[in-house]
Amino acid sequence: MKPFLAMLTRDMKLATRIGGDSLTVLLFYIMTGAIMPFAIGPDKDQLAQLGPAIIWISALLSLLLALDRLFRMDHEDGSLLAMRQASLPLEMIVVAKICAHWVTTALPLIVATPVLAILLNLEIDQTLRVIFTLLVGTPALICFGAIGAAVTVSIKRGGLIAPILILPLSIPTLIFGVSAVSSGAIANAQDAALLFLAGFTLLSLVFTPFAAALALKMAAE
């Protein structure tokens, strides 16, 4: 347990220090969300209707921003190689890094969501529902991102390669995330969408550690 916690706290420290990703992601999220009302115009009803989708798109884009770097820094400075000798399997190291990444990037973003909700004129119950779907759905986004980041870890200046790889995988999460908030034509569609969202998250949590660890091992060859 101690090696796992050491990995977790170290990544959390790195993300919150200067040059870390926490603040970048948070600011990008608020910025993209905040400029939407200016582009869409002052129609309050329209804003409220588009609100959940805007929040989800902003969250997805800002998470993509930092996901690319999940393993790259450690790969470049030799830490990843040294981590493979740890008394912890690489799969568990991936789990620790995913947890730390979720806490330092997705969680601040979820906490900041009410700010965006006010700007987008969302009702309180809808705001709470967006926050809940983000809580359920963002771990899946981080997991898919981790696989993309692991596959592209050895590509120097990969640029957009990882996001291009991650984006198609993230689309189902986006679809069900938004439809779990927005009122659709079909009754109970929201709850079904929420269950699908939870299913994606659970599935990705199970497969990602193995897939990402395998990709990292192959990248080191």
Partner 1 sequence: MRKNGKNPENIALNVMNLACERGGFEIFSGVSFTAQPGEVILLRGPNGAGKSTCLATLYGVLPKSFGTVSFENIDPEREPREYLHIVGHVPGVKTTLTVKENLTFWAQLYGGTENVLPAIEAAGLEAIQDSEASILSAGQTRRLGLARLLVANRPIWILDEPTSALDKQGDQWVGQLIADHCAEGGIVIAATHLDIPHLAPEAVKTVMIGYSAVDHAS
Number of residues that bind partner 1 (CB under 8 A): 28
Does residue 86 bind partner 1 (CB under 8 A)? Answer: yes
Q: Please identify, using beta-carbon distances, which residue of 125 and 221 lies nearer to partner 1.
A: 221
Report the residue number, 73 or 192, with the smaller CB distance to partner 1: 73
Could you tell me the smallest distance in angstroms from the CB atom of residue 100 to partner 1? 12
Contact residue for partner 1 among 31, 50, 72, 81 (CB under 8 A):
81
Stretch of residues binding partner 1 (CB under 8 A), selected from 80-88, 122-130, 162-170, 172-180: 80-88
Sketch the per residue contact string, 4 through 23, with partner 1: x for CB under 8 A, - otherwise. Answer: -xxx--x--xx--xxxx---
155/202 with CB nearer partner 1: 155
Distances (CA, A) of 74 to 28, 77, 120, 154: 24, 5, 38, 11
Q: How far is the CB of 20 from partner 1 (least distance, A)?
A: 7
Nearer to partner 1, 1 or 186 (CB): 1
Q: Does 156 bind partner 1 (CB under 8 A)?
A: no
Distance between CA atoms of residues 132 and 201, nearest Å: 13
Instruction: Find the shortest distance in angstroms from Cβ 73 to partner 1.
Output: 8
User: What minimum distance in Å lies between the beta carbon of 38 and partner 1?
Assistant: 36
| CB neighbours of residue 123 within 10 Å | 11
CA dist., res. 144 & res. 174, Å (int): 12
CA gap 177, 84 in Å, rounded: 35
Going by C-alpha positions, the residue among 154, 160, 152, 192 that lies closest to residue 176 is 192
Contacts with partner 1 by CB under 8 A lie at 2-3, 5-7, 10, 13-14, 17-20, 76-79, 81-89, 217, 220-221
